Amino acid sequence: MPLGKITIHPIANDAERRSRHQRRSDGLLKKVQELSVLCNVPACVVIYDTDDTAEPNVWPSMQETTNLMQSSLDMLESSVGNKMLDREALLQKSIAKAENKLDRRRSQNRQLEINIIMNDIIAGRRKNLDDLDSKQIEELEWVLAMRHRGIHDHVHVLRSEAVEASSLPPSQPAAQPASQVVSGEQENMEGDDSPRAFLEGDSSV
């Protein structure tokens, strides 16, 4: 059976807490060292004890850790204009992205409202535009103008196609195949010059 959610809370016993702190600190330092070596990335760890007077556990060394943290702060300050952003710039970027998305949704909603109004007018469900504001009326006029222009362009295309069809020459009757012509001539020749016809003509003389 799966284990339930484990609640993390401070260890009350001082001796057990110090022992657990030592074991977990050693394990964490070892993991960070392995990560730095395997992935070839700079890393450092600073772990303070519960006793403020004790020296913190540091890896790899206090000087290297100080230099690494200072270089990270300098890089963060110099990269505000680049792809790397601090918290404030990242938050502003997220806000701008959300505002753009909200503007697109509002535009889509306005277009949907205008389409509903147009359908109500066409179906006769709307008798007037008294409940619309000036911006909605302007958008409605724009949609009407675009639809009128589309209908006009479509009619113009249909008329052009009709004119082109009427200007084409009438279709000519299909020519008789050469095989039929030859067979017809052969029939005429057989009717006039066949041996039977020749004999019949000779007998009549």
**Structurally, how many domains does the chain consist of?**
2
* In a shared domain, residues 38 and 60: yes
Residue 37 pLDDT class (50, 70, 90 cuts): very high
Q: Which residue among 50, 78, 106 closes a domain?
A: 78
Kindly tell me if the per-residue pLDDT of 93 is higher than 70: yes
Residues of the domain holding 140: 89-165
Kindly report the backbone phi and psi dihedral angles of residue 140, in degrees, each rounded to the nearest multiple of 5, phi listed first.
-65, -40
Kindly tell me if the per-residue pLDDT of 86 is higher than 80: no
**pLDDT value at residue 126:** 84
- For residue 59, is it within any domain? yes
- For residue 9, is it within any domain? no
Please state the rounded mean pLDDT for residues 57-67.
90
Buried b (16+ CB within 10 A) or exposed e, 140-178: beeeeeeeeeeeeeeeeeeeeeeeeeeeeeeeeeeeeee
**pLDDT value at residue 138:** 86
* In a shared domain, residues 31 and 57: yes
* In a shared domain, residues 35 and 74: yes
Peptide bond into 60 cis (omega under 30): yes
* In a shared domain, residues 57 and 93: no
**pLDDT value at residue 48:** 87
First CA to last CA distance, the chain: 126
- For residue 133, is it within any domain? yes
| Cα–Cα distance for residue pair 176/170, rounded to 1 Å | 18
> Which is it for strands 45-47 and 57-59: parallel, antiparallel or unpaired?
antiparallel
> pLDDT of 150-205, one tens digit each?
898 999 889 888 888 887 666 655 555 555 544 554 555 445 554 444 445 544 44
* In a shared domain, residues 52 and 111: no
**pLDDT value at residue 105:** 92
- For residue 201, is it within any domain? no
| Cα–Cα distance for residue pair 69/71, rounded to 1 Å | 5
Which contiguous run of DSSP H or E holds residue 50? Answer: none
* In a shared domain, residues 122 and 67: no
- DSSP type of residue 194: S
* In a shared domain, residues 124 and 143: yes
* In a shared domain, residues 74 and 93: no
**pLDDT value at residue 205:** 44
151 or 5, greater pLDDT: 151
Kindly tell me if the per-residue pLDDT of 30 is higher than 50: yes
